[in-house]
Amino acid sequence: QSPEQTEIADRPVCDSLNLGSLQLVSTLKNPSGSCSVDVNVMWWDEAGFKDLCIVTACEYVVSLWKPADPCQWEKIHTWHFTEVPVLQIIPVPDVCNLVFVALGNLEIREIRALLCSSDDKSEKQKLLKSGNIKAVLGLSERRLVNSSRALCDQQVEVMTFAEDGGSKEKQFLMPPEETILTFAEVQGMQESLLGTTAVNNVVIWNLKTGQLLKKICIADSYQATVCHKAYSEAGLLFVILSHPCAKETESSGSPVFQLMVMNPKTTLNVGVMLYCLPPGQAGRFLEGDVKDHLAAAVLTSGTVAIWDLLLGHCTALLPPRSDQNWSFVKWSGTESHLLAGQKDGNIYIYHYS
Amino acid sequence: CSKADLGPVSLNWFEELSSEAAP
Protein backbone atom coordinates (compact mmCIF):
# COMPACT_ATOMS: atom_id res chain seq x y z
CA GLN A 1 0.00 0.00 0.00
CA SER A 2 1.58 3.25 -1.06
CA PRO A 3 1.57 5.85 1.72
CA GLU A 4 -0.78 8.69 1.20
CA GLN A 5 -0.74 12.07 2.79
CA THR A 6 -3.98 13.60 3.94
CA GLU A 7 -3.64 17.08 5.28
CA ILE A 8 -6.11 19.65 6.26
CA ALA A 9 -7.06 22.02 3.47
CA ASP A 10 -6.36 25.71 3.60
CA ARG A 11 -8.82 26.85 6.23
CA PRO A 12 -8.33 29.99 8.30
CA VAL A 13 -9.02 28.49 11.74
CA CYS A 14 -6.39 25.80 11.30
CA ASP A 15 -4.04 27.93 9.30
CA SER A 16 -1.63 28.14 12.18
CA LEU A 17 1.22 26.17 13.70
CA ASN A 18 0.81 22.62 14.95
CA LEU A 19 -1.25 21.21 12.13
CA GLY A 20 -1.66 17.48 12.34
CA SER A 21 -1.29 15.13 9.43
CA LEU A 22 -2.62 11.66 8.73
CA GLN A 23 -0.60 9.18 6.74
CA LEU A 24 -2.16 5.96 5.51
CA VAL A 25 0.04 3.07 6.63
CA SER A 26 -2.06 -0.04 6.16
CA THR A 27 -5.42 -1.38 4.98
CA LEU A 28 -7.51 -4.34 6.08
CA LYS A 29 -9.68 -5.43 3.18
CA ASN A 30 -12.94 -7.16 3.87
CA PRO A 31 -13.55 -9.67 1.10
CA SER A 32 -17.08 -10.51 2.26
CA GLY A 33 -18.32 -6.95 1.77
CA SER A 34 -20.76 -7.33 4.68
CA CYS A 35 -21.70 -4.31 6.75
CA SER A 36 -18.93 -3.28 9.15
CA VAL A 37 -19.86 -2.00 12.61
CA ASP A 38 -16.74 -1.56 14.78
CA VAL A 39 -12.99 -1.98 15.18
CA ASN A 40 -10.58 -2.06 18.10
CA VAL A 41 -7.12 -3.20 19.16
CA MET A 42 -6.23 -5.76 21.81
CA TRP A 43 -3.42 -8.02 22.99
CA TRP A 44 -3.44 -11.62 21.79
CA ASP A 45 -0.97 -14.34 22.72
CA GLU A 46 -0.54 -16.96 19.98
CA ALA A 47 2.06 -19.70 20.53
CA GLY A 48 3.86 -17.63 23.15
CA PHE A 49 4.08 -14.47 21.04
CA LYS A 50 2.03 -11.57 22.36
CA ASP A 51 0.95 -9.14 19.64
CA LEU A 52 -1.21 -6.05 19.51
CA CYS A 53 -3.96 -7.33 17.20
CA ILE A 54 -6.91 -5.69 15.48
CA VAL A 55 -10.46 -6.88 16.06
CA THR A 56 -13.01 -6.09 13.36
CA ALA A 57 -16.75 -6.54 13.71
CA CYS A 58 -19.20 -6.94 10.85
CA GLU A 59 -22.88 -7.63 11.51
CA TYR A 60 -22.53 -11.39 11.94
CA VAL A 61 -18.75 -11.93 11.99
CA VAL A 62 -15.99 -10.85 14.38
CA SER A 63 -12.40 -11.33 13.14
CA LEU A 64 -9.00 -11.10 14.81
CA TRP A 65 -6.08 -9.84 12.71
CA LYS A 66 -2.45 -10.32 13.67
CA PRO A 67 0.45 -8.22 12.30
CA ALA A 68 2.31 -10.14 9.60
CA ASP A 69 4.79 -8.59 7.15
CA PRO A 70 5.33 -4.83 7.45
CA CYS A 71 2.01 -3.07 7.01
CA GLN A 72 0.19 -6.37 6.40
CA TRP A 73 -2.39 -8.08 8.58
CA GLU A 74 -3.35 -11.74 8.70
CA LYS A 75 -6.75 -12.94 9.86
CA ILE A 76 -6.18 -15.64 12.50
CA HIS A 77 -9.57 -16.17 14.15
CA THR A 78 -13.19 -15.63 13.16
CA TRP A 79 -16.33 -15.94 15.27
CA HIS A 80 -19.73 -16.26 13.59
CA PHE A 81 -23.15 -15.23 14.87
CA THR A 82 -26.42 -16.41 13.41
CA GLU A 83 -29.34 -14.85 15.25
CA VAL A 84 -28.47 -11.50 16.80
CA PRO A 85 -26.14 -9.05 14.96
CA VAL A 86 -23.06 -7.48 16.55
CA LEU A 87 -23.47 -3.85 17.67
CA GLN A 88 -20.06 -3.05 19.12
CA ILE A 89 -16.76 -4.38 20.41
CA ILE A 90 -16.31 -3.72 24.15
CA PRO A 91 -12.63 -3.01 24.86
CA VAL A 92 -11.52 -4.19 28.31
CA PRO A 93 -8.09 -2.93 29.41
CA ASP A 94 -5.48 -5.39 30.68
CA VAL A 95 -7.23 -8.38 29.08
CA CYS A 96 -5.41 -10.75 26.71
CA ASN A 97 -6.98 -13.44 24.46
CA LEU A 98 -10.54 -12.35 25.26
CA VAL A 99 -12.81 -10.26 23.04
CA PHE A 100 -16.04 -8.86 24.44
CA VAL A 101 -18.90 -7.90 22.13
CA ALA A 102 -22.39 -6.44 22.51
CA LEU A 103 -25.09 -7.88 20.26
CA GLY A 104 -28.54 -6.56 19.45
CA ASN A 105 -30.58 -4.71 16.89
CA LEU A 106 -31.15 -1.13 18.01
CA GLU A 107 -30.42 -1.82 21.68
CA ILE A 108 -28.01 -4.28 23.28
CA ARG A 109 -29.61 -7.66 23.95
CA GLU A 110 -26.56 -9.76 24.76
CA ILE A 111 -22.97 -9.43 25.96
CA ARG A 112 -20.67 -12.26 24.90
CA ALA A 113 -17.03 -13.19 25.53
CA LEU A 114 -15.14 -14.58 22.52
CA LEU A 115 -12.11 -16.78 23.06
CA CYS A 116 -10.18 -19.76 21.71
CA SER A 117 -10.01 -23.20 23.23
CA SER A 118 -6.57 -23.89 24.67
CA ASP A 119 -6.76 -27.49 23.35
CA ASP A 120 -7.61 -27.27 19.68
CA LYS A 121 -7.49 -23.46 19.17
CA SER A 122 -11.09 -23.50 17.95
CA GLU A 123 -13.18 -20.35 18.42
CA LYS A 124 -15.59 -20.37 21.37
CA GLN A 125 -18.11 -17.89 22.74
CA LYS A 126 -19.78 -17.48 26.12
CA LEU A 127 -23.02 -15.65 26.83
CA LEU A 128 -22.37 -13.39 29.82
CA LYS A 129 -25.54 -11.36 30.03
CA SER A 130 -28.84 -11.06 28.18
CA GLY A 131 -31.75 -8.66 28.58
CA ASN A 132 -32.59 -5.05 27.88
CA ILE A 133 -29.06 -3.66 28.24
CA LYS A 134 -28.74 0.12 28.03
CA ALA A 135 -25.03 0.79 28.50
CA VAL A 136 -21.79 -1.16 28.84
CA LEU A 137 -18.13 -0.32 29.47
CA GLY A 138 -14.96 -2.36 30.00
CA LEU A 139 -13.04 -1.32 33.13
CA SER A 140 -9.52 -1.86 34.42
CA GLU A 141 -8.77 -4.95 36.52
CA ARG A 142 -10.73 -7.31 34.21
CA ARG A 143 -14.12 -5.79 34.98
CA LEU A 144 -17.12 -4.88 32.86
CA VAL A 145 -20.01 -2.67 33.96
CA ASN A 146 -23.47 -2.75 32.41
CA SER A 147 -26.88 -1.30 33.12
CA SER A 148 -30.10 -3.03 32.22
CA ARG A 149 -33.80 -2.47 32.70
CA ALA A 150 -36.41 -5.01 33.72
CA LEU A 151 -39.92 -3.52 34.10
CA CYS A 152 -39.37 -0.39 36.20
CA ASP A 153 -36.12 -1.39 37.84
CA GLN A 154 -32.69 -0.43 36.59
CA GLN A 155 -29.81 -2.72 37.49
CA VAL A 156 -26.16 -1.64 37.39
CA GLU A 157 -23.86 -4.63 37.54
CA VAL A 158 -20.06 -5.00 37.60
CA MET A 159 -18.70 -8.37 36.46
CA THR A 160 -15.14 -9.54 37.08
CA PHE A 161 -13.70 -12.11 34.69
CA ALA A 162 -11.66 -15.25 34.99
CA GLU A 163 -8.99 -16.20 32.41
CA ASP A 164 -11.46 -18.38 30.50
CA GLY A 165 -13.89 -15.50 29.98
CA GLY A 166 -16.33 -16.74 32.58
CA SER A 167 -17.84 -14.34 35.10
CA LYS A 168 -15.96 -14.78 38.39
CA GLU A 169 -17.68 -12.22 40.57
CA LYS A 170 -20.72 -9.95 40.37
CA GLN A 171 -21.40 -6.76 42.24
CA PHE A 172 -24.33 -4.34 42.01
CA LEU A 173 -24.13 -0.55 42.13
CA MET A 174 -26.94 1.62 43.48
CA PRO A 175 -28.94 2.74 40.40
CA PRO A 176 -30.14 6.31 39.85
CA GLU A 177 -33.83 6.83 39.00
CA GLU A 178 -33.18 7.85 35.41
CA THR A 179 -31.81 5.68 32.62
CA ILE A 180 -28.02 5.54 32.28
CA LEU A 181 -26.80 6.27 28.75
CA THR A 182 -23.03 5.87 29.06
CA PHE A 183 -20.32 5.03 31.58
CA ALA A 184 -16.80 6.47 31.96
CA GLU A 185 -13.88 5.61 34.24
CA VAL A 186 -12.12 8.42 36.07
CA GLN A 187 -8.45 8.21 35.08
CA GLY A 188 -6.21 7.21 37.94
CA MET A 189 -9.14 6.55 40.30
CA GLN A 190 -9.90 2.85 39.93
CA GLU A 191 -12.66 2.90 42.54
CA SER A 192 -14.71 5.64 40.90
CA LEU A 193 -17.10 5.43 37.97
CA LEU A 194 -19.14 8.07 36.14
CA GLY A 195 -22.39 7.70 34.26
CA THR A 196 -24.39 10.09 32.06
CA THR A 197 -28.16 9.80 32.21
CA ALA A 198 -31.12 10.43 29.93
CA VAL A 199 -32.01 13.67 31.74
CA ASN A 200 -28.48 15.06 31.49
CA ASN A 201 -27.17 14.25 34.92
CA VAL A 202 -23.67 12.97 35.59
CA VAL A 203 -23.67 10.40 38.39
CA ILE A 204 -20.64 9.23 40.41
CA TRP A 205 -20.31 5.80 42.02
CA ASN A 206 -17.88 4.19 44.42
CA LEU A 207 -17.13 0.89 42.64
CA LYS A 208 -15.84 -0.76 45.80
CA THR A 209 -18.89 -0.10 47.96
CA GLY A 210 -21.52 0.29 45.20
CA GLN A 211 -22.61 3.66 46.65
CA LEU A 212 -24.13 6.31 44.42
CA LEU A 213 -22.09 9.28 45.62
CA LYS A 214 -23.46 12.24 43.73
CA LYS A 215 -25.77 13.36 40.98
CA ILE A 216 -24.60 16.43 39.08
CA CYS A 217 -27.11 18.24 36.90
CA ILE A 218 -25.67 19.56 33.62
CA ALA A 219 -29.12 20.44 32.30
CA ASP A 220 -27.92 23.61 30.58
CA SER A 221 -25.79 21.44 28.37
CA TYR A 222 -26.98 19.58 25.28
CA GLN A 223 -29.16 16.47 25.27
CA ALA A 224 -27.90 12.90 24.82
CA THR A 225 -24.47 13.69 26.15
CA VAL A 226 -21.77 11.01 25.99
CA CYS A 227 -18.81 11.10 28.38
CA HIS A 228 -15.56 10.02 26.67
CA LYS A 229 -12.98 10.77 29.31
CA ALA A 230 -12.81 11.95 32.91
CA TYR A 231 -9.99 12.90 35.25
CA SER A 232 -9.73 14.50 38.66
CA GLU A 233 -7.34 17.37 39.33
CA ALA A 234 -7.05 19.80 42.22
CA GLY A 235 -10.32 18.56 43.72
CA LEU A 236 -12.26 19.12 40.50
CA LEU A 237 -13.61 16.64 37.99
CA PHE A 238 -12.86 17.35 34.31
CA VAL A 239 -14.92 15.55 31.67
CA ILE A 240 -14.77 15.44 27.87
CA LEU A 241 -18.31 15.17 26.51
CA SER A 242 -19.67 14.84 23.00
CA HIS A 243 -22.98 16.26 21.92
CA PRO A 244 -24.72 14.38 19.11
CA CYS A 245 -27.63 16.81 19.27
CA ALA A 246 -25.63 20.05 19.34
CA LYS A 247 -26.68 22.78 16.94
CA GLU A 248 -24.41 25.23 15.20
CA THR A 249 -24.21 28.67 16.79
CA GLU A 250 -23.13 31.85 15.07
CA SER A 251 -20.52 32.67 17.67
CA SER A 252 -18.68 29.38 18.02
CA GLY A 253 -19.58 27.23 15.00
CA SER A 254 -20.58 23.62 15.33
CA PRO A 255 -19.56 22.14 18.72
CA VAL A 256 -18.58 18.47 18.64
CA PHE A 257 -16.75 17.92 21.95
CA GLN A 258 -16.82 19.93 25.16
CA LEU A 259 -14.58 20.12 28.20
CA MET A 260 -16.58 20.64 31.39
CA VAL A 261 -15.34 21.06 34.92
CA MET A 262 -17.43 20.09 37.94
CA ASN A 263 -16.96 20.30 41.65
CA PRO A 264 -18.14 16.91 42.99
CA LYS A 265 -18.64 18.37 46.49
CA THR A 266 -20.97 21.23 45.49
CA THR A 267 -22.20 19.80 42.13
CA LEU A 268 -21.53 23.24 40.58
CA ASN A 269 -20.22 22.90 37.05
CA VAL A 270 -19.31 24.96 34.03
CA GLY A 271 -18.28 24.45 30.41
CA VAL A 272 -14.60 25.28 29.91
CA MET A 273 -14.12 24.82 26.19
CA LEU A 274 -16.07 23.87 23.09
CA TYR A 275 -14.26 21.94 20.38
CA CYS A 276 -15.88 23.13 17.16
CA LEU A 277 -15.57 22.36 13.49
CA PRO A 278 -13.53 24.74 11.38
CA PRO A 279 -15.58 27.28 9.42
CA GLY A 280 -16.94 25.79 6.21
CA GLN A 281 -17.23 22.30 7.71
CA ALA A 282 -20.76 21.09 8.36
CA GLY A 283 -21.94 18.13 10.37
CA ARG A 284 -22.70 16.90 13.85
CA PHE A 285 -21.06 14.24 16.03
CA LEU A 286 -21.99 10.73 14.95
CA GLU A 287 -19.37 8.55 16.60
CA GLY A 288 -15.97 9.13 18.15
CA ASP A 289 -13.08 8.22 20.40
CA VAL A 290 -10.87 10.16 22.83
CA LYS A 291 -7.39 9.02 23.85
CA ASP A 292 -4.98 11.09 25.92
CA HIS A 293 -5.16 14.60 24.41
CA LEU A 294 -6.56 13.54 21.02
CA ALA A 295 -10.22 13.37 20.06
CA ALA A 296 -11.54 11.93 16.79
CA ALA A 297 -15.10 12.07 15.53
CA VAL A 298 -17.02 10.82 12.53
CA LEU A 299 -19.36 13.60 11.49
CA THR A 300 -22.76 13.27 9.87
CA SER A 301 -21.09 14.60 6.70
CA GLY A 302 -19.02 11.39 6.52
CA THR A 303 -15.75 13.20 7.31
CA VAL A 304 -13.46 12.36 10.25
CA ALA A 305 -12.25 15.34 12.27
CA ILE A 306 -9.43 15.34 14.83
CA TRP A 307 -8.89 17.77 17.68
CA ASP A 308 -5.87 18.31 19.85
CA LEU A 309 -7.59 18.92 23.19
CA LEU A 310 -4.60 20.85 24.53
CA LEU A 311 -4.35 23.17 21.53
CA GLY A 312 -8.11 23.52 21.53
CA HIS A 313 -8.74 23.35 17.82
CA CYS A 314 -9.31 20.93 14.96
CA THR A 315 -5.94 19.77 13.59
CA ALA A 316 -6.87 17.36 10.80
CA LEU A 317 -9.75 16.36 8.57
CA LEU A 318 -10.13 13.09 6.71
CA PRO A 319 -12.74 13.43 3.97
CA PRO A 320 -14.72 10.40 2.75
CA ARG A 321 -12.44 7.98 0.89
CA SER A 322 -13.39 6.58 -2.54
CA ASP A 323 -16.72 8.42 -2.25
CA GLN A 324 -17.59 6.37 0.84
CA ASN A 325 -18.38 8.03 4.14
CA TRP A 326 -16.48 6.99 7.24
CA SER A 327 -18.56 4.95 9.71
CA PHE A 328 -16.39 4.74 12.83
CA VAL A 329 -12.97 5.70 14.21
CA LYS A 330 -10.83 4.41 17.08
CA TRP A 331 -7.41 5.40 18.38
CA SER A 332 -5.09 2.42 18.64
CA GLY A 333 -3.24 1.73 21.86
CA THR A 334 0.14 2.86 20.61
CA GLU A 335 1.90 5.53 18.58
CA SER A 336 -1.13 7.62 17.66
CA HIS A 337 -2.56 5.28 15.08
CA LEU A 338 -6.12 5.95 13.98
CA LEU A 339 -8.30 3.10 12.73
CA ALA A 340 -11.05 4.34 10.41
CA GLY A 341 -13.73 2.06 9.03
CA GLN A 342 -16.26 2.20 6.24
CA LYS A 343 -19.57 0.35 5.95
CA ASP A 344 -18.21 -2.04 3.32
CA GLY A 345 -15.94 -3.56 5.96
CA ASN A 346 -12.63 -2.03 4.86
CA ILE A 347 -10.48 -0.62 7.67
CA TYR A 348 -7.76 1.97 7.02
CA ILE A 349 -4.95 2.56 9.51
CA TYR A 350 -3.51 6.07 9.60
CA HIS A 351 -0.56 7.42 11.50
CA TYR A 352 -1.34 10.78 13.10
CA SER A 353 1.52 13.16 13.72
CA CYS B 1 -15.07 31.35 34.90
CA SER B 2 -12.96 31.12 38.02
CA LYS B 3 -12.49 28.25 40.44
CA ALA B 4 -14.39 30.27 43.04
CA ASP B 5 -17.57 30.00 40.96
CA LEU B 6 -17.60 26.26 41.67
CA GLY B 7 -17.65 26.61 45.47
CA PRO B 8 -15.31 25.11 48.08
CA VAL B 9 -13.09 22.37 46.67
CA SER B 10 -11.77 19.29 48.46
CA LEU B 11 -8.81 17.24 47.28
CA ASN B 12 -10.33 14.24 49.10
CA TRP B 13 -13.77 14.62 47.54
CA PHE B 14 -14.08 10.91 46.73
CA GLU B 15 -13.39 9.75 50.29
CA GLU B 16 -15.56 12.50 51.78
CA LEU B 17 -18.54 11.74 49.50
CA SER B 18 -18.14 8.02 50.24
CA SER B 19 -18.35 8.63 53.97
CA GLU B 20 -21.38 10.94 53.56
CA ALA B 21 -23.38 8.82 51.05
CA ALA B 22 -25.93 6.17 51.95
CA PRO B 23 -24.31 2.73 52.36
**pLDDT, tens digit, for every residue of A92-141?**
988 999 999 999 998 999 999 999 987 778 999 999 999 999 999 999 99
What does the pLDDT look like over A188-219, one tens digit per residue? Answer: 899 999 999 988 899 999 999 999 999 999 86
pLDDT for res A344: 87
DSSP H helices, chain A, are: none
Pair type for strands A73-80 and A226-233:
unpaired
Which of chain A's residues have a Cβ under 8 Å away from the Cβ of B14?
A: 189, 191-192, 206, 213, 232, 264
What does the pLDDT look like over A288-331, one tens digit per residue? Answer: 999 999 999 999 999 999 999 999 999 999 999 988 999 999 99
* Pick among B17, B19, B20 to test the A interface (most A CBs inside 10 A): B17
Alpha-carbon distances, residue A278 vs A16, A112, A271 (angstroms):
12, 40, 20
Q: DSSP assignment, residue A249?
A: B
Asked if A212 lies within 8 A of B8 by C-beta distance, the reply is no
pLDDT for res A13: 36
**Which long-range CB contacts under 8 A does A101-107 form with residues at least 24 apart?**
A101/A57, A101/A62, A102/A133, A102/A136, A104/A133, A107/A132, A107/A133, A107/A134
- Residue in chain A lying closest to B21 (CA): A213
